Amino acid sequence: MKIEHLNATFQPSKIGNPHGLQITYLKDNSTRNIFVYHEDGKETVDWFNAIRAARFHYLQVAFPGASDVDLVPKLSRNYLKEGYMEKTGPKQTEGFKKRWFTMDDRRLMYFKDPLDAFARGEVFIGSKENSYKVLEGLPPSTQGNHWQYGITIVTPDRKFLFACETESDQLEWITAFQKVISRPMLPQEYAVEAHFKHKP
């Protein structure tokens, strides 16, 4: 695991344990999840703090001019949004399938099960300056969705169609997408975007 891409976040309800911790890192530029817990909550907190301390040391070396105030928010991050949505494939003729989605900054990942080690797929969410946008609803010709509250993500390459079970879920997802899309991309995010475009 490279400390550069390591993250830890408390996930008690997802893991089903009050001391649950989700650790993620990049493996071959795909997100890998590890779910851990300990009966002693202090042990879990100690591991969380150890990961943050290691990240802090890494960031101090990687960004020698940065102040501690700038580095602390980068030590770990919580997900912008998680939950179930339905999705269809690139041809938009396949049926919609229920998947667990996790929005980790500009990476939208989907899983068959919330505790899967690897995502079934990942979508890069860029900025509005780079022709990314989120639309409420689905194209009129869309068929096969069981849930009625649609979302369309427009990227420079294609449209991604999602459906939510409730209107409040739809609004929360749209808000999360808009938060990311409205933020200009950083130079290193262009490299991530390029990798997504060249994934087999």
- pLDDT tens per residue, range 25-72: 988 888 999 999 999 999 999 999 999 999 999 999 999 999 999 999
H or E segment to which residue 135 belongs: strand 133-136
Task: Give the lowest-confidence range in 48-62, 155-169, 185-199.
Answer: 185-199
Residue with tokens 């200009």, as numbered in its chain: 184
Contact 76, 54 (CB under 8 A): no
The answer, yes or no, to whether residue 200 has pLDDT greater than 60, is: no
Distance CA 146, CA 152 (A): 16
Write out pLDDT tens, residues 105-135.
999 999 999 999 999 999 999 999 999 999 9
DSSP at 88: -
The answer, yes or no, to whether residue 179 has pLDDT greater than 70, is: yes
Q: Which of the four pLDDT bands, split at 50, 70 and 90, describes residue 137?
A: very high
pLDDT at residue 198 in the model: 64
**Nearest of 74, 92, 73, 82 to residue 11 by alpha carbon:** 82
Distances, alpha carbon 8 to alpha carbons 34, 59, 74, 133, in Å: 9, 16, 11, 29
